[in-house]
Amino acid sequence: MQFEELGLGAEVLRAVAEAGYKEPTPIQQKAIPTVLMGRDVLGVAQTGTGKTAGFTLPMIDILASGRAKMRMPRSLILEPTRELAAQVADSFEKYGKYHRLSMALLIGGESFKDQEAALDKGVDVLIATPGRLLDLFQRGKILLADSKLLVIDEADRMLDMGFIPDVERIVSLLPRMRQTLFFSATMAPEIRRLADKFLLNPKEISVAPPATAAATVSQYFQRCGQEPKMKRAALRRLLSADDVKSAIVFSNRKRDVGVVHRSLVRHGFDAEALHGDMPQPSRMATLDKFKKGDVRILVCSDVAARGLDIPAVSHVFNYDVPHNAEDYVHRIGRTGRAGRSGTSVTLVTGDDRKTWPAVVRLIGRDVEELPGDTEAAPVPTRETREERPARGSKRRSTRSRSEEAEAKPARKDKSGGERKSRTPAREQEGQAVTAFGDDVPAFMLTPVPNV
Ligand code: AMP
């Protein structure tokens, strides 16, 4: 199918051609004609599927006729994070370059004054995060009675971030007669309840998650002791590999973002940090620097993981296994984008005995193990010692050891007979090794996760 068949106007088609898109993605094929018809849409789609253009392209055409009144935006797009909001604004600029639509971006961390000035001029497209929008509404700076086109993007993320009461309040301020486009990566019962409440006879569109992360990202994990020092050392070794052109390092805690970032800089790495507590202008500036290639490594929290479109990231490193397995998919999806290949490596410690198997279950495929530094790794079990391939010969899968033991024939010695294990009988029976006496560091006693 071609873009020309979707019913879009000539100017939008020209902008799309200049963006280099050859054909519409599945969500665009399904959503664009429906939106142009004026129908509500319930889209189950993740970022990376092309859903942003799926709603921005027809919106530009719909809004092309008509004029905005002061403080009364004609359309509203709600986004859960400032970064996503800024990204949608970029899309409007790119696809709307042959239209004269006015746009305002209302996100926290930026000056109220500039945002109020933009509203005063009248806006066709208002892109906002819920908190800032309500702030401005309560100050009497904005009226939503004329917003007849509403987009709620990443509804499941809004739910995770506790924004649903704000979203419900905002929707109650919009006219009842409106067109609503509602997108979510998943359809949990709470999301379905909201969709039923906000939408009128919607067309339901569901597209498979983008294959990019699964198909083009080579995923590895490496065992590591849970001591922060060990994790940082392991990370430095990984970042020093020749093929690491640009990398995002994800940490679960904001505090660790700072610690890891400072440590990398101290060790001479070209790194910047990005997390939710930073003032918005410096968040944007950092992201911009990374996108332009002016800095090689970005250490960040999950706020930067969702939906960010940074085309040339060669590696993603998970300094921590994310608490929420879905975040893993979003994190590794920052590399291997737009058909490029990418690599992800996750550091797995004894603390991750629950979270890492959950990730492996979610992605539904094996993740290969990179040989780690034996000194940094938790004390290897008999199985890991025997099954770990020699250094340089690479990689084990994440199947449980018992599965692997079943899958593997007993090893043979050179003469074809079964090789005798040199492991002491006590260890073979699974008892703890006590040769360290009382001085065994705590991390060494933590069982290795069953990965
Ligand atoms: P999204 O899912 O909206 O975050 O889009 C993911 C990426 O796909 C963005 O970099 C878009 O520029 C790109 N994209 C959107 N539509 C198309 C298309 N029809 N062909 C190729 N790339 C596209």
49: CA distance to ligand 1 center in Å?
A: 7
Residue 405 lies in a domain: no
Residues 296 and 365 in one domain: yes
Structure confidence by residue, pLDDT tens digits, 251-266: 999 899 999 999 999 9
Count of domains for the chain: 2
Q: For residue 354, give Cα distances in angstroms to 235, 319, 366, 372, 447.
A: 22, 16, 16, 20, 12
Residues 164 and 189 in one domain: yes
Residue 227 lies in a domain: yes
Residue 420 lies in a domain: no
Residues near 229 by beta carbon (within 8 Å), at least 6 away in sequence: none
Residue 313 lies in a domain: yes
Residues 188 and 281 in one domain: no
Confidence of residue 409 (pLDDT cuts 50, 70, 90): very low
Residues 248 and 366 in one domain: yes
Structure confidence by residue, pLDDT tens digits, 89-135: 999 999 999 998 999 999 987 888 888 899 999 999 999 999 999 99
With a cut of 60, say whether residue 26 has pLDDT above it: yes
State which ligand 1 atom lies nearest to the alpha carbon of 45: 2
Residue 308 CB–ligand 1 contact under 6 Å = no
106: CA distance to ligand 1 center in Å?
A: 23
53: CA distance to ligand 1 center in Å?
A: 7
Residue 309 CB–ligand 1 contact under 6 Å = yes
| DSSP character string of 308-335 | ---TT--EEEESS--SSHHHHHHHHTTS
Place of tokens 């309560």: 138
User: Which residue type is seen at 10?
Assistant: A
Residue 138 lies in a domain: yes
- What are the tokens at 193? 């309840």
Residues 139 and 166 in one domain: yes
Residues 197 and 149 in one domain: yes
**Which one, of 219, 449, 403, 414, lies nearest residue 329 by Cα?**
219
User: Which residue type is seen at 250?
Assistant: F
Residues 15 and 103 in one domain: yes
Residues 237 and 352 in one domain: yes
Neighbours of 94 (CB within 10 A): 15
CA nearest ligand 1 atom 18, residue: 21
Q: What CATH number is associated with residue 175?
A: 3.40.50.300
Q: What percent of the chain has pLDDT over 70?
A: 78
Residue 43 CB–ligand 1 contact under 6 Å = no
With a cut of 60, say whether residue 390 has pLDDT above it: no
CA nearest ligand 1 atom 20, residue: 21
Residues 179 and 326 in one domain: no
Residue 277 lies in a domain: yes
Residues near 342 by beta carbon (within 8 Å), at least 6 away in sequence: 216, 217, 218, 313, 314, 315, 316, 332, 335, 336
Give me the sign of the Cα torsion angle 249, 252, 254, 258: negative
State which ligand 1 atom lies nearest to the alpha carbon of 307: 4
Say if residues 75 and 149 touch (Cβ distance below 8 Å): yes
CA nearest ligand 1 atom 5, residue: 50
Q: What are the phi and psi torsion angles at 181 (to 5°)?
A: -115, 125
Least confident of 155-159, 334-338, 444-448: 444-448
Residues 25 and 110 in one domain: yes
* Domain extent for 348: 217-386
Residue 49 CB–ligand 1 contact under 6 Å = yes
Residue that is last in its domain, among 386, 401, 430: 386
Residue that is last in its domain, among 343, 364, 386: 386
With a cut of 80, say whether residue 226 has pLDDT above it: yes
Residues 251 and 169 in one domain: no
Residue 333 CB–ligand 1 contact under 6 Å = no
Confidence of residue 311 (pLDDT cuts 50, 70, 90): low
Residue that is last in its domain, among 386, 418, 439: 386
